[in-house]
Amino acid sequence: MSGSSTPEPTPAVTEPGRGRLRMQPAVDAAMRTLLRSPLHRLLSAKLLVITVTGRTTGRVYANPVGYVESGGALLIGTAANWRRNLRPGEPVRITWRGRDRLADWDIITGEAEIAEPYRILITSNPTHGRFAGIGLNPDGSINRDQLRAALQRGTVIVRLHPRPPQ
C-alpha cells in the first residue's frame, strides 16, 4: 500500500473474456427464458435479449446481453460475433423489459467516439469493464490504453434506439 491518497485506476482483468463459463449455453438459455417471462423484472434492468439472423446460415440467434440506458439509447459493449449479423438499414429485434420490439441501431468503433459511451457503460456496470479489460482512471475517465487494446480485439459499442412497442 502506498502512502499516497490517490485512488488506483479501476482494475481490468489480465486476460479479458477468460472467465467465460463452460456452461454458457445453458446460462444463456436460462436468461432468455427468464427475460421473456413475467419474472423478467429480476434481470431486465441490466439485461435484454437481442435477436439476429445469421447472414449465411439463416439461423436465428437470441443473445442475452448486458446494457446501460443513456440519453434514450441502450448501450451494449461487445466483441461477440452476433453484431456482425446486424443488417444495415434494418432494425433488430429485442426483448427489453419483458416486451418484444424493434430497435434501430448503430455501431460505434472509433476511439474518440467510443470513449464517452464506454465510460458511461463501465460507470454503470463495472463488471462489464472487468470482462472487457477496460477500466477507469482515478479521475473517472476511461483508461485509453485499455480501451485501445479492447478495440484491437474487436470491441465495439452497439447503440440501440428502441421503437415504441407494437
The answer, yes or no, to whether residue 79 has pLDDT greater than 90, is yes
pLDDT at 45: 78
CA proximity to 64, closest of 99, 33, 31: 31
What is the domain partition of the chain in residue ranges? 23-162
Q: What is the pTM of this model?
A: 0.78
d(CA 45, CA 93): 18
- Of 158 and 56, which is predicted with more confidence? 158
Judge whether 87 and 104 are in contact, CB under 8 Å. no
Q: What is the mean pLDDT of the chain?
A: 84
pLDDT tens for 127-152 read: 889 989 999 999 999 999 999 999 99
Domain range 23-162, CATH class: mainly beta
Distance CA 105, CA 88 (A): 9
Residue 85 confidence (pLDDT) above 60: yes
120 contacts 114 by C-beta, under 8 angstroms: no
Q: What is the pLDDT of residue 159?
A: 98
